[in-house]
Structure 1
Amino acid sequence: MLSRSAFLHGHSAVRAATARTASQLSTNGTRTSFQNIFVQSRNSHYNSKSDDVNARPPVTIPQLRKLYKNKTPISMITAHDYISGMLADRAGVDMVLVGDSLAMVSMGHESTSEIDLNDMVYHTRAVSRGVKSSFLIADLPFGSYETSPEQAFDSAVKMIKKGNAQAVKIEGGKELYPTIKKLTDFGIPVVGHIGLTPQRQNALGGFRVQGKTAKSAVELLENALAIQEAGCFIMIIEAVPDKVGSLITEKLSVPTIGIGAGPGTSGQVLVQLDMLGGFDAFVPKFLKRYSNYLETNVNAIKTYSDEVKSHQFPSTEHTYSITDDEFAKFQDLVAKKGY
């Protein structure tokens, strides 16, 4: 098990990922090849982030460690496109997650398991264009990492190289130890996810609260300890009793981000469209709505449509003008050409 000081000072895999320099990675053939991909991709991404002189400094893993050390809650929110990424970044959240929840809230699928890696890379790249400072994480979707550590490595490289993600998130526990260790050994930051794991909701019997018995809660803790030992630098705990979320957080030496796990975790995450009131097909108990996106925007579009039909839009203030002289010339030319 990692000690708290080991996390705060950084173990070698995560330290290598955050430093982003060639000297911090092994120079054998395979690692050198990935190192070039990782360093070039991140340098390109951060150069683009620095264009806005008014932007916050980029959030880094060491800064997240500092928040954790100081017991400052960490804020995370999802994003699915350029605009939602920009909104999250301008709001000043610490971390932006391109979650596979976008399969439901953005693409209209019935579950998160219907999205594939190419879809996730596409959306992550779009979000990255709007995120200037927040730390950007992307889900590896169902079917993109379970076969082998090698499959997960290939998927993670694609997500970082083409999607501009800074870390990848995978769902599961101790069975993913070899996978997480391979990724972190090669300098890929990994976010874990335990509790309710939506990609496995069929096996779990649907979207159900996890860890409600002593036995199942112990299993959650054991899974958390295992993926921490494998190298996760942070992990999400979803849909567990608040006391269970708090105790698991106390036993770990890395931050936890709760979603339906109570106030005792190191931080919180919500799906952006959920908390804005933009998705009403499924409303979990843990959701707090901070806006009424659907009603506000439906009303706005309806007003626009009504104004079009009643000739109220566009008005003079929304149109371009031409001088009377030029318009008269235009009419003469039309007449002469016989149009």
Structure 2
Amino acid sequence: MTSRAINFILATVIGVAICCVGGLIGLSGTATACVPQATTAPSGSPSPLERYDSEQKGHVATIVQVGASKKVPGRGMVIAVATAIQESRLTNHGDLGAANDHDSLGLFQQRPSQGWGTPQQIMDPQYAAGKFYDKLLTIDGWQQMPLTQAAQAVQRSAYPDAYAKWEPDATALVTDAATALGIDISGGFGMCMSAGGWIKPVDAPLNSGFRTASRPGHDGVDLGAGRGTPIRAASSGIVIKVRCNAYNADGSPRSCDIDGNLSTPGCGWYAEILHPDKTVTRYCHMLQRPAVAVGEEVITGQIIGLVGNSGHSTGPHLHLETHTSQPATEANAVDPVAFFAARGVDLSSSRPVASH
């Protein structure tokens, strides 16, 4: 068995325990830490909800209702809606004649010739959504897959990378529809995964904020997890950096395999992940060399390292940074609390734990 497969199993098994024991109730006493939130649009741009008309939103409501009836987690609903946006722009297309792609029909452009059903059945949005979910639920590990991989496993599209760009819109549409319908999509993600496919990297309290008055140069937040706590990839992506970054007071290099202190600048052992939306997450002060390598594709919840105290640190914790682009720099660092909130994950906690 490969190390990637072992990590996958560990992330899934251990992550579920965290969701049940601490992730759902340890953060705020409720499941709100896992509730997805609508993605905000750049200033001056229409929001995802403004880009779709009432008929399209009606189809989203149908997809959400069918998913709820089949007990599909919110993440599955987002995958279904993103697929329908890509395939039909949420339009229940009939036969388009010369413009038709073979015998593709309906919201998901399913083909009678490939066993999806009769033309009449496929043109029924409830039936079409149900068939999509039936196939999705047969795919092992679909909840931990990047959206485009899960969608492609169902659709077998000629353009497999096209689904990913619709994830923000689908997240906003599903959240809006579920709220209007009174459907709870906060649970069942595994590892408290949001509908957008993000998790909190460690189940630990937030004890130091982003660029506070007392620490204006603090370009991330600190999560007070204990030494050796597994650190999980916040979302799927590609590892773009693995590095030891620590120095002695005189500027000479320092080992990251020993504890740091306030006189040892640097992030210690750290890793960076580039996500499909081109953002970057950075995980600092690891106990030892990260468990991943540059160029490796990781999935949400995969263990990438262990909490430690290397570099500029006075106690074990995870220093977490979020950046809007690569390379990750001070100029493109943003507040992780707001960054994760926009992706449906609550980093906040009131349990005080001292760290630096």
TM-score of the two chains, using structure 1 as the length reference? 0.24
TM-score of the two chains, using structure 2 as the length reference? 0.23
Give the number of the structure whose residues are more often helix, by fraction. 1
Greater relative contact order (Cα 8 A, min sep 6): structure 1 or 2? 2
Larger of the two Rg values belongs to structure: 1
